[in-house]
Chain A
Amino acid sequence: MLTISGNIVDVDTLIPSINNDEIKLKIINIMNKSSYTYRFSSPQELYFILDMRKNIINASKMLYRSRIRFRTFKESECNGYYWRRTPEGGFLLKGSVQPARAINDIYNNGRLYATECATAIVIVYYKAVLDTFGSELFNRLFTDIYLMDWQNLSGKLRVSTDRKPPDTFPADCRYFKNPDVDPLTPEWQGENAIDLGNNYYYGHGVGIITADNIIYILNNHRKPGSNVSAYLLDSSTNPDYRSLFKLYSNYSHT
């Protein structure tokens, strides 16, 4: 079920506002059919979250096309004009550059960058926030970006994992776990992948493929003799959409 300001929403009334967007419609329908109640403070909050999820999916597809390469942290690479590579292999935004340009540079000059799968998801999140907030607001708010898997995220972009969500949605980041990973390739211990809403997932290093194919690839990186398959966990990871909405609402008119 879906409520706005405490009132149950007739989904049909929302359709004109989302321009029959297939992904947004799918998200609304999942909420509507769920036994869990999805509560929103206002229609704007709901539309913001739908925009963010849509932008996460678009940012995933664009990052795939950018030709950014897969490397472990020890071998990560970045464009030194915008980012400083830290000793642990993360990318720290240089103080002299605009955050929006630095994020867009990863998309425009993907070949200059190489990192592992969790950092790629964080890049996707920043790009989705940039596309939702616009460059001007993004440059004002996100001045301290550090791209290093899930850790050290800016206080303004919080990310959390729901270990047993009532439902899963397009744009969720899902985790494919490889419990019997080859000990010499720990980077294949699992794959973070964005649900693209069409039975395909984007995972950095594996591309845009189905869940079965991600499992197939992970299984090829198991230790010898293992018969324990990789599998998709129930959990889902997402940016804190509500805090982002508050941030957007508070600053977009100032």
Chain B
Amino acid sequence: MSELTSLSALDKIRADRGNSSLSYYFRNLLIRNTAKAIKLINEDNLSFPALFILLPQISKPSLSRYLNSRNKEAIEVIKGIRSKSFSGFSEITKNIDVREMLKWILQTGKDDDISRGEYIDILDSCAIILVREYKDYSMLPVIKEIIYNRYKQGLFIHDLVWAFFECRDPNCILMLAESLNSEDEKEVELTKELLKFIPVVKSSNLPKELLYRSVCYWLKDNLPFLYYTGESFQQMPDPSPFEVSLGAKYLFKKVSLDGNIESALSENEKRQLNIFNTLDKNSQILLSNYSFILHNQNIYWWNSWIRYPVSEQLRISAAKLGGTIC
């Protein structure tokens, strides 16, 4: 798909005179000058919102055969989404490059303020299919932009937020955290809402610049131990899409995206992890934080500390960290 460099003629009419005027103009043009109407709808820099508004007119068989491949494929993708079943979608779109079409829809449709239910549905579906089924995360910045734009308009965002986090990559936290530096208070508000599973965001009244830095430090410290939980706004009031695997942090082992420790554990590590798992949450947090700090400070001390009985580890950790839970 070509990059949009300027507005297409139809987009310009829409921008200047609104959606209804565009529809009216195109309907008249079809009667007066069909060739010109076809030329305009096939312009390279046409956006998805303009195509969506003109869908009832361009879907008619008499016109659809003159559409370029991008427009034909976009109509197929919409039909697939309307089937409300991924098997139906896959069948309808089997001969087209779905991934590129989904990206075109999201990229050119992101700024639009069409708040009609189906338009929102289509964008949500494109994001969900691209991220969950095609594992294509190149549009995450665009998906983020749509989420924030919709939030400012008071529109529904939960499915799109779910699609965003379905990338399952904790690095996406940083992409959201960048909006803590925004001048727009609504953007800061939403970022705090989306990241409130991070202790420093939930409990802190820090100024937003410091909060951003705190989130960066938290992410840097915990990145190897973060895993995706799949929790969503549909599921609970305070979803935590990513969690720190405290056991992994305690043993200083990296986790895979599903939360399992990646490397094989020795018998001794397995035994220690079993004991660790029986501890209350606060003790687990204390031990894992102390282990992380000590490992970074001095690996030799850490090697001795990790071999102590857990009760002794707890005593030392509480003494060194003042019994505080970070």
Q: Residues of A with Cβ closer than 8 Å to B?
A: 73-75, 86-89, 116-118, 149-151, 153, 159-161, 175, 177, 179, 182-187, 189-190, 192, 223-224, 235, 237
Assuming the contacts A73-B156, A224-B86, asked whether A87 and B115 have C-beta atoms less than 8 A apart, the reply is yes
Q: Which of A75, A150, A237 contacts B233 (CB 8 A)?
A: A150
| Cα(A235)–Cα(B124), bound, Å | 28
Cβ < 8 Å to A, chain B residues 116-131: 117, 120-121, 124-125, 128-129
| Mask of B6-50 contacts with A, CB within 8 angstroms, 1/0 | 000000000000000000000000000000000000000000000
Q: Once bound together, how far apart are the Cα atoms of A235 and B235, in whole Å?
A: 10
Interface residues of B in 226-278 (CB under 8 A from A): 230, 232-238
**Interface residues, chain B, CB within 8 Å of chain A?**
81, 83-87, 89-90, 115, 117, 120-121, 124-125, 128-129, 132-133, 153-159, 162, 230, 232-238
Tell whether A185 pairs with B84 under 8 Å between CB atoms, given A160-B238, A192-B235, A235-B236.
yes
- The one of A161, A182, A192 in contact with B238, judged by C-beta atoms closer than 8 angstroms, is A161
**Known contacts being A74-B156, A87-B153, is A184 close to B89, with CB within 8 Å?**
yes
A-side contacts of B120, CB under 8 Å:
74
Given pairs A183-B132, A186-B159, 5 additional interface contacts (CB within 8 A): A87-B115, A159-B237, A183-B133, A184-B86, A224-B86
Nearest chain A CB to B123's CB is how many angstroms away? Answer: 11
Q: Which residues of A contact B153 (CB under 8 A)?
A: 87
Residues of chain A within 8 A of B90, CB atoms compared = 224
- Closest Cβ of chain B to A114, distance in Å, is 13
Q: Which residue of B lies closest to A116 (CB)?
A: B234
* Neighbouring A residues of B85 by C-beta, 8 Å: 182, 184-185, 224
User: Complex: how many Å from CA A177 to CA B232?
Assistant: 11
C-alpha spacing A175/B156, complex, angstroms: 22
Is the CB–CB distance between B117 and A74 below 8 Å?
A: yes
Across-interface contacts of B232 in A (CB, < 8 A)? 189-190
Q: Which 5 pairs show the lowest CB-CB distances between chains A and B?
A: A150-B237, A224-B87, A74-B117, A161-B236, A88-B156
B158 touches A73 (CB 8 A): yes
The docked-state distance in angstroms from the alpha carbon of A117 to that of B83 is 22
